[in-house]
Structure 1
Amino acid sequence: MPVPADLPKPGKLFSLGLMTQQAALRHPDSLFYLDKPFDLAPELGMRPTYAQVADLVEDTAARLYALGVRAGDVVGVYKTHNADLLFLACALARIGAVPAMLAPFLEWETVTIMMDRLRPAHFVTDAAKIAVSGEHGDRLRVIVPSTVLTHGRAAGLPSLEDAPADRRPPYHDLPADDPALITHTSGTTGVPKMVAAARRGTQLPINMQARLARWLRYSETYAMCISFVHSRTYAALATALELGINIAALTDADVDNVRKIFLECRPGGVEAHPNMYTHWEELADDPDGPLESVRIFMSTFDAIHPRSIRVMLGASRRRWPIFLQSYGQTETGPVTMRLYTRRNIRRADGRCVGHPFIGMTKARIRPRPGVDDGTRHGFIEATSTGLGITYVGQQELYDERRDGDWWNLQDIGYKSRWGCLHLLDREFDQTPELASMLAAEDTILDQLPTLTEAVFVSLPGGIQPVVCTRRDKPLDRTAWAAAVAGLPQVADPVHIAWDEMPHTATWKVKRNVLAERLADGTIPTLDEVKPLI
């Protein structure tokens, strides 16, 4: 279904349901670089244009409308990992529904718990997901009145493939303070919490990035390898569409896949999760230079290891490459930002995550009750114009975290005399043996470039390091001993494959799950070292 030229203008606030259409009217021939065809429209191939994607959004919206999705409906989305997740959310918003996006890597047991909290009017999935749902699929049918397949056929469920697309749904412009998008936290400490963002709140990261793009005069291809269901990704997409630039949307963070796409599209900007950059460091030595065109590297929400920043900046052949690190959470959006160059990264403190955005965010440190350790360390709290309006189905938990306009990020840190924020640890990861586990991990990774991950886990027997090496090569234990010589006593490291490291859709390590697997002996190791019990 082609995009009509008379679509309403979305006004001053971001419109998830209209952004692809408005971009297509201005920049119809700009490209998307894909590494996997859309499940929703495989016939578009690997290089669809803005115009084709906008048509896909209109077509999908019409099919969803034909199957009963209406303005105001909350719709859970849980489908196979693919960039078309972005445009499925756009199609739902085009109708005026509220998409609730779930990471494709969640287990069905977790999905049913989240849907029980959400109680959506519809649930959108695909045949591959239904095929492995088992008893949880039966539970889902009790919770949700309507289940729709994006593609394929299973269990007699209606599929978008069979729905008519001949009736264009009316456009509903959502009120500024009503929920417009529901995403979820990473789930590092349990079942992810679903965060409802108002349309006004989704504007914060778009404003921030648009200002930055204008300041940098950015107009090159932008490559993203970030979770397609994360709130951050929609802000990044909206900004790129507004600029009219080519967009590489990668589903696979594997080094060889990234190399192939980057050599073709030669991005000027790259955004990925911190642990992805660590794995991509080997691309810096590639003689074909897949990273040499990059002018701006970006990483959001988690603090990144300084080693990865140094390697990325060193791999670029641009005169003044920069690395932008943003810190925040799903609940707040970006809270602080720090800019790195080749010069300042040499003396950078990896725990410094920068300053708040003037006029949009603030940060403060609240002392921990009953803790007087002689330091300035405390709970990091923030105010943000992008603060989520609730945890869906968990309002009491949301209220516990909020104090007026201030939100407790449940991270431990401090502010320097210059006002920059320093992140030390998650509250749940603190241990008396180390002032900062994250700082200790930075130290190890700086000294051992063959490591792709070093995680310190607190177990009853002490501090247990768990490490991964590049392409699972043997660990140099002599070098390890030298690297930890200046740290408090820790156990011998357990060496595991990266694929065995429990992590979230944004590649955060689930330390609690890792600790449980170490304790019960269910995690396979690559050597003879046994974990502390």
Structure 2
Amino acid sequence: MATLSLAAILAEPARRHPDRTALVEGELRLSFKETWHAARAQAAALVGLGVRPGDRVALMAPNTTEFPMAYYAILAAGGVVVPVHLLLSAEEVEHVLRDSGATLLLCHPAQTATGGAAAEATGVRMLDLGERGELAALARESEPLASYVTREADDPAVVFYTSGTTGVPKGAVLSHFNLVMNATVNAFDANDIRPDDIALGALPLFHAFGQTVSMNSTWRAGATLVLLPRFDAARAIELMVAEGVNTFHGVPTMFVGLVAAAAAATDLPRLRICISGGASLPVAVLEQFEKAFGTPVYEGYGLSETSPTASVNQPDFGTKAGSIGHPLWGVDVEIARADVDDRVELLPTGELGEVVVRGHNVFSGYLGRPEASAQALVDGWFRTGDLGTKDDEGFLTIVDRKKDVIIRGGFNVYPREVEEVLVRHPDVAQVAVIGLPDPVHGEEVCAVVVAAPGASPDPADIVAWSKEHLGKHKYPRRVELTDALPLGPSMKVLKRELRAAYAVS
């Protein structure tokens, strides 16, 4: 088997361009050589703690230097990175640790309350990240690994947790080949990333979009990544101007914020490449952004299961507002019959159907879930669950979602998962969770509740209660009370009726 490691994304620029700036965070500036040296030292510490090739190591950190250091340290040690979403509750982090079989949790000091509770509940050892953290202390005492541990191309590199229709978060297993190829093709084929580019790392690095498109693609080209730990539009503009940033990757809510902040800014960055993903970018926002910043926005599409990029507007093909462009180099994205589950039957140009993907970016399957993997991977294609079309110029457009996934601020929220939690509330008999249009977040989470017999629930109390039991991106900001939920012939809740009823109220 061919050997390949995602760690090469950092190792190679350290060999080819050792003195070039790799990472900027505040006043801190690190060259590729310095960044790779620190990662190899941490990798040696991990090996000393017993991390062996294939071991899964959870990583819980914001967009600070600690994330890329620990990420590449885990990979260099031969481990598998399990990024933990920072908006999860302690109970949800527990599930990720248990389900992944993580042997260790590397946790930033800002996350130790949640991470520590989950680690204690699962018996997983936690190491604090940061200059004064335990991992840094062990790294200072360790001789850095000479290079990364050898891995085969199809070996797991990262496990991204994503929920399915069952509401139980599943681990999507991405190989070294998947992620190296996605970073490479994003950098050199879909986009024109150059070594002297400077990209803003504002997307969460624990998310597939931020991890592949911002961090890995930027470093694959030997370019510089400027970290912004917490996105604020005005601060982002100031930082981009100060650091000479010319590349921006963001979700639609970030573009909305930047358009608003641009009006009050005294100076704007001179951007060359802007990429949007994570959710549909309203055409009006795209037009406002391009007018304010004088640069085109290339909208794309992907999922954790596709490393993540599957399709994007690309300079080679031209752009079409409202579309997700063309498939990546070496990837096929087609439209198939959505009502046929046991096979993939492709549809003619222009017809509406389910978006299906095949190529080097498609994941290996869901960790420990062969049945779910078999449902998702059919005839060599990954069934996305999204509905879309492809026109005669090859441009793809996402029309709707086959499943009722809510995309709030670029993060997927799965109604069933939220419903499972809310139905535990003593005053709730039934609940249906829907997404409603929101000008800031794209969609907002709304829970339509049927009260338990004799109960008189207060919507504000249910919101407060759910906030304690669900991740920050998942809990409903809006709760509506109803006497009964609308049911179809098969006794399923008609969520389209609920969306129609509450979208205008």
TM-score by structure 1 length? 0.70
Give deviations 1:380-415, integer Å, cap 9, x for gaps: 222131111121233322222221211111112223
Structure 1 residue 250 displacement after superposition:
1.7
Q: Residues 189 and 76 from structure 1, CA distance in 2 versus in 1: closer, same or farther, beyond 3 angstroms?
A: same
Matches within 5 A, 1:342-353: 348=321, 350=322, 352-353=323-324
Q: Which amino acid aligns with 2:97?
A: M
User: Partners in 2 of 1:268 and 1:116 — Cα distance?
Assistant: 41
Q: Which amino acid aligns with 2:276?
A: S
Q: Residues 198 and 399 from structure 1, CA distance in 2 versus in 1: closer, same or farther, beyond 3 angstroms?
A: same
Q: What residue in structure 2 maps to residue 527 of structure 1?
A: none
Q: Residues 180 and 221 from structure 1, CA distance in 2 versus in 1: closer, same or farther, beyond 3 angstroms?
A: same
Paired residue secondary structure (1:429): coil
Q: What residue in structure 2 maps to residue 382 of structure 1?
A: 357
The answer on whether the counterparts of 1:268 and 1:294 sit within 8 Å (CA) in structure 2 is yes
Structure 1 residue 365 displacement after superposition:
2.4
Give deviations 1:443-493, integer Å, cap 9, x for gaps: x99xxxxx43453778769xxxxxxxxxxxxxxxxxxxxxxxxxxxxxxxx
Matches within 5 A, 1:65-464: 65-80=47-62, 82-132=64-114, 136-141=118-123, 144=124, 146-151=125-130, 159-162=135-138, 165-169=141-145, 171-185=148-162, 190-212=167-189, 219-236=196-213, 237-291=215-269, 293-317=270-294, 321-332=295-306, 333-339=308-314, 348=321, 350=322, 352-368=323-339, 376-429=351-404, 451-453=439-441, 455=443
User: Partners in 2 of 1:503 and 1:271 — Cα distance?
Assistant: 27
Is 2:479 the counterpart of 1:518?
yes
Paired residue secondary structure (2:249): strand
Paired residue secondary structure (1:514): coil
Give deviations 1:177-198, integer Å, cap 9, x for gaps: 1112222337898453221111
User: Partners in 2 of 1:14 and 1:264 — Cα distance?
Assistant: 37
Give deviations 1:261-319, integer Å, cap 9, x for gaps: 1120122211112221111112332453323x1011112343212122212222235xx
Q: Residues 268 and 127 from structure 1, CA distance in 2 versus in 1: closer, same or farther, beyond 3 angstroms?
A: closer
The answer on whether the counterparts of 1:379 and 1:409 sit within 8 Å (CA) in structure 2 is yes
Q: Residues 201 and 215 from structure 1, CA distance in 2 versus in 1: closer, same or farther, beyond 3 angstroms?
A: same
> Which consecutive unaligned segments of at least 5 residues does structure 1 have?
1-10, 37-44, 432-443, 446-450, 462-495, 522-529
The answer on whether the counterparts of 2:252 and 2:280 sit within 8 Å (CA) in structure 1 is yes
Q: Residues 215 and 59 from structure 1, CA distance in 2 versus in 1: closer, same or farther, beyond 3 angstroms?
A: closer
User: Partners in 2 of 1:457 and 1:229 — Cα distance?
Assistant: 22
Q: Residues 114 and 18 from structure 1, CA distance in 2 versus in 1: closer, same or farther, beyond 3 angstroms?
A: same
The answer on whether the counterparts of 1:301 and 1:334 sit within 8 Å (CA) in structure 2 is no
Alignment equivalent of 1:31, drawn from 15, 21, 33: 21
Q: What residue in structure 2 maps to residue 437 of structure 1?
A: none
Q: Which amino acid aligns with 2:49?
A: L
Aligned length: 427
Q: Which amino acid aligns with 2:476?
A: L
Structure 1 residue 331 displacement after superposition:
0.2
The answer on whether the counterparts of 2:184 and 2:220 sit within 8 Å (CA) in structure 1 is no
Give deviations 1:187-219, integer Å, cap 9, x for gaps: 898453221111121133223223237857673
User: Partners in 2 of 1:268 and 1:355 — Cα distance?
Assistant: 23
Paired residue secondary structure (1:398): helix
User: Partners in 2 of 1:61 and 1:268 — Cα distance?
Assistant: 32
Q: Which amino acid aligns with 1:66?
A: G
User: Partners in 2 of 1:219 and 1:213 — Cα distance?
Assistant: 18
User: Partners in 2 of 1:212 and 1:164 — Cα distance?
Assistant: 39
Give deviations 1:123-174, integer Å, cap 9, x for gaps: 2224553434576443221xx3x433324889xxx65425653333363221
Q: Which amino acid aligns with 2:83?
A: M
The answer on whether the counterparts of 2:2 and 2:153 sit within 8 Å (CA) in structure 1 is no
Structure 1 residue 19 displacement after superposition:
3.1
Matches within 5 A, 1:497-516: 510=474, 513-514=475-476
Q: Residues 186 and 50 from structure 1, CA distance in 2 versus in 1: closer, same or farther, beyond 3 angstroms?
A: farther
Paired residue secondary structure (1:47): strand
User: Partners in 1 of 2:394 and 2:71 — Cα distance?
Assistant: 38
Q: Residues 83 and 228 from structure 1, CA distance in 2 versus in 1: closer, same or farther, beyond 3 angstroms?
A: farther
User: Partners in 2 of 1:191 and 1:245 — Cα distance?
Assistant: 38
User: Partners in 1 of 2:259 and 2:95 — Cα distance?
Assistant: 38
Paired residue secondary structure (1:412): strand
Paired residue secondary structure (1:200): helix
Q: Residues 50 and 313 from structure 1, CA distance in 2 versus in 1: closer, same or farther, beyond 3 angstroms?
A: same
User: Partners in 1 of 2:273 and 2:33 — Cα distance?
Assistant: 27
Q: Residues 503 and 308 from structure 1, CA distance in 2 versus in 1: closer, same or farther, beyond 3 angstroms?
A: farther
Q: What residue in structure 1 maps to residue 344 of structure 2?
A: none
Is 2:44 the counterpart of 1:62?
yes
Give deviations 1:210-260, integer Å, cap 9, x for gaps: 323785767322223112123344433333224333321222211232022
Paired residue secondary structure (1:120): coil
